[in-house]
Structure 1
Amino acid sequence: MPSEIFRRQVVPRAAELSALRIDLHDALRSIPRVGRDVASRVAIAVSELGTNVARHGPPSPVTVRADLDNGELTVDVDQLDPVGAIPPVEEWNLPNDPLAATGRGLAIVRQVADWVRLHRLDRRVIVRLGFSLESSSSDALRASAHAG
């Protein structure tokens, strides 16, 4: 059964997103099974999704929840009444123009998460991200090898 390890509701603005990123990373790092690599990838993905909401969505709260279940961490970013169409996950790619000023956020999310699912429920959109903790084990081994 999944165990909730983090929940926060924020209105996506720069200061709130910065605090969210730090608090989420710290909460994940306080769990021995979650290595630095996974915690950093989660923080990057949530930050990119929050930035997208801030740029393209209404100023409504977004809820971020992280659950731990066996060897997997799942993170939900839940938004009510998103503005504009959110493309299917399969289309979350880097822009064709490498000099484009925007358009990388969703591609970055897709790259740093082990898997991404998009759920639409009535007026809500939930982006669910999955992260294997297997890389955390090797992260911890590398850290202990360098510490000794």
Structure 2
Amino acid sequence: RILVVDDCPVSSRMLKFMLETLGAAGVDTCCSASQAIAKLGQMPSESYQVILTDYHIGQSSGADLVRRVRCNEESFNAPPIAVIGMTGDGTITEDCWFGADMVLRKPFNRKTLHDAIISLKASYNSRSPHQVTVGPDQH
């Protein structure tokens, strides 16, 4: 199961479609950190394997969502999280790393998304998060 958090309905649908064409089953979407926390709380025993959150999600940010999930790791079964953001958005490299497993930079293609999901699932299975950046402007 994958949870996509994005306040832009078009981006959310496009990401869900890309994930489904890659074979992902059980892709849920929501548009805010509050909705994501509610979804995570509804299914603690059958948790998400990956959370993909946009950096800019309305009233909150992807970094805020990461912090909230990491502060409640036991409650949410601590899935790995990728924060998605635009290339050149300096705030992403600064404050998203607090607990995020990956930063996925826009624009990205299906192969980049596939590789990111594989890496995040490996992180989930090993429970040893590793921080990586994928997409344009990799360092």
TM band (smaller chain)? 0.3 to 0.5
Relative contact order: is structure 1 or structure 2 higher (C-alpha 8 Å, sep ≥ 6)? 1
Larger radius of gyration: 1
